[in-house]
Chain A
Amino acid sequence: MLRKLYLLYGIVVLGGAGFAQYRGMSLDKMTELKNVPKSVRDNPGSYRAVYMGYHHYTGGK
């Protein structure tokens, strides 16, 4: 039973990894938006960036 389970699990894991790569999935953090107005191209400042002001790190040891 355990053997069959691991076999099935392994196939699912391999299939999942292959599917994720084929579909071009990513683990990076981002936000998908719909219907961004075409006017952004002419007026980039009209677009409100989701991650604006996220940087707080001042760096250094």
Chain B
Amino acid sequence: MSAGTPPLTGPPNPQAKALNCPSCGAAITLRSFQQAVTVVCDSCHSILDAKDPNLQILQKFAVAVGEGHPLIPLGTRGKMRGVDYEVIGFQRRSIKVEGIRYDWHEYLLFNPYKGFRYLTEYQGHWNDVVVCKELPLISSSALSSMPATANYFGEIYKHFQTSDANTNFVLGEFPWQVRVGEHATVTDYVRPPRMLSSEKTGNEVSWSLGEYMYGADIWKAFNLSGSPPEAIGVYENQPSPVSANVKYVWASFGIFLALLLALMIFFDVTARKELVFHSSYQVIPGESKTEASFVTDIFELKGRTSNVEVTTSANVRNNWIYLNYALINQNTGQAWDFGREVSFYSGYDSDGSWSEGSDHDSVVVPSVPPGHYYLRIEPETTPRHPNISYSVDVKRDVPVSMFFLLAFLALLVPAVLISFRALAFERSRWSESDHPPIKLSQSEDDN
């Protein structure tokens, strides 16, 4: 610093001021100096006027046995958003919904240069809360079923809940006239991970902006021992672990689908689809007891190791033919054994005409190396059958669309599951709001 530079000015360095409770005589430490309006005696829980040099008693309240102490003890210092804060106040508040009381905790943090901020905790869910810099704009929805919204710096927050809050327990010091039993109408608007809250007491309305925080981050910020309480359920502004991924996953699915189609077209265009064998046969009545098996002429399968499609077409009408096939390599003795049925039935009944089956069948023999092959064929059919004609086609290297269909389903299933998970998370979130999702059982009951 140069000699001509004036010394930096600013708020005085914080120093705790020691006083005594006029009710019980216990020592009281004021941490926020002139900022405190009320201070609560840690010993007898009398609420005192911090502006009064004699600490006039404003309220005495009974503390229930087993009243929980703050998870972050008063006086604890920590770093929030890069700024040092000290916990100077704690209050327990509650709302009643359908006869059930829901309690949450609020911690008042103070920095002599930055002022106040709050930490709220409900069932392991934390929020870092600051007072709004500007009044949000509220818009009521034209549709009664749609929640109202609040616009804050261009961001739209959806109405979540309006309820009457009650202050049940206070500790430490506060920059306002805190009282146990104090009522306020609290309205929450959410846009995860943030939420806007308005508190109306009489004619006074105050707005605050909260951002969801994880307990582990709070514990780290305040260097607390042990572990934070486990978060239970879904909180109103808790960011969904999967919602942010839904758009990405569907966008990726679209790209994968395009690539899959391209791959399918590529293989369809480049596949040989070469007809290497074709022949027609007959099963004649009265010959079923003689040796039915026979072998075909030898045909050559060219190219790389690839599949072979064997197609059987038969003139079956209300009949069937079953063919035992063996595709045999003439030189190596390697063979693929398989059986195929061709059957077709049709008729007419009270429902009209019907049919089932087909007069042809295809099977794909996998990964057949190039070489010279023949088919051993052994037909079976009913003992009393008409003359059945059938033909056999053998094609080398055909595209198998089933792989691409399976790949499509394999890509689709995770995307659908992620979407359902995100939907379930949002349903869980809004089920606790004034705008719960419609339940199927409820709508059935209504009918």
Q: Footprint of B on A, CB under 8 Å?
A: 2-3, 6-7, 9-10, 13-14, 16-18, 20-38, 40-41, 44-45, 47, 49-55, 57-61
B337 interfacial contact with A, CB 8 Å? yes
Q: A10-B411, A32-B336, A40-B376 are in contact. List 18 more A-B contacts (CB 8 A).
A: A3-B248, A14-B260, A21-B263, A21-B399, A21-B404, A25-B403, A26-B367, A30-B337, A30-B363, A33-B326, A33-B334, A36-B333, A40-B326, A44-B294, A51-B338, A55-B322, A55-B380, A59-B356
B354 interfacial contact with A, CB 8 Å? yes
B324 interfacial contact with A, CB 8 Å? yes
Closest Cβ of chain B: how far from A54's Cβ, in Å?
A: 5
* The residue from B249, B328, B399, B403 contacting A6, defined by CB atoms under 8 A apart: B249
B345 interfacial contact with A, CB 8 Å? yes
12 contacts between A and B (CB under 8 A): A7-B252, A23-B366, A25-B366, A25-B400, A26-B365, A32-B336, A34-B334, A40-B328, A44-B294, A44-B378, A52-B324, A61-B354
B368 interfacial contact with A, CB 8 Å? yes
Contacts of B322 in A (CB 8 A): 54-55
A5: nearest chain-B partner, CB-CB: B414
Q: B227-275: which have CB < 8 Å to A?
A: 242, 245, 248-249, 252-253, 256, 259-260, 263, 267
Contacts of B380 in A (CB 8 A): 53, 55
Which of A30, A31, A34, A52 gathers the greatest number of chain B CB atoms within 10 Å?
A30
Which of A14, A17, A24, A47 gathers the greatest number of chain B CB atoms within 10 Å?
A24
How many A-B pairs with Cβ below 8 Å?
175
Which of A14, A18, A26, A40 gathers the greatest number of chain B CB atoms within 10 Å?
A26
Contacts of B349 in A (CB 8 A): 61
Closest Cβ of chain B: how far from A53's Cβ, in Å?
A: 8
0 or 1 for each of B51-72: is its CB under 8 Å from A? (1 = yes): 0000000000000000000000
On whether the beta carbons of A59 and B378 are closer than 8 Å, the reply is no
B291 interfacial contact with A, CB 8 Å? yes
Closest Cβ of chain B: how far from A45's Cβ, in Å?
A: 5
C-alpha gap A53/B324 in the complex (Å): 9
Q: Footprint of A on B, CB under 8 Å?
A: 242, 245, 248-249, 252-253, 256, 259-260, 263, 267, 291, 293-295, 305-308, 318-320, 322, 324, 326, 328, 330, 333-339, 341, 343, 345, 347, 349, 354, 356-357, 363-368, 374, 376, 378, 380, 397, 399-400, 402-404, 406-407, 410-411, 414-415, 418
C-alpha gap A31/B328 in the complex (Å): 12
Closest Cβ of chain B: how far from A8's Cβ, in Å?
A: 11
Contacts of B345 in A (CB 8 A): 59-61
Given contacts A17-B407, A26-B365, is CB(A51)–CB(B343) below 8 Å?
A: no
Q: Top 4 A-B pairs ranked by shortest CB distance?
A: A51-B339, A24-B307, A55-B322, A24-B306
* The residue from A16, A23, A36, A59 contacting B326, defined by CB atoms under 8 A apart: A36
Contacts of A36 in B (CB 8 A): 326, 328, 333-335
Closest Cβ of chain B: how far from A29's Cβ, in Å?
A: 7
On whether the beta carbons of A35 and B333 are closer than 8 Å, the reply is yes
C-alpha gap A58/B338 in the complex (Å): 20
Contacts of B253 in A (CB 8 A): 10
On whether the beta carbons of A52 and B368 are closer than 8 Å, the reply is no
Given contacts A37-B333, A49-B324, A54-B322, is CB(A20)–CB(B403) below 8 Å?
A: yes
Closest Cβ of chain A: how far from B314's Cβ, in Å?
A: 13
Given contacts A20-B403, A35-B333, A41-B330, is CB(A55)–CB(B341) below 8 Å?
A: yes
B303: nearest chain-A partner, CB-CB: A24
Contacts of A61 in B (CB 8 A): 345, 347, 349, 354, 356
Contacts of B293 in A (CB 8 A): 44-45, 47, 49
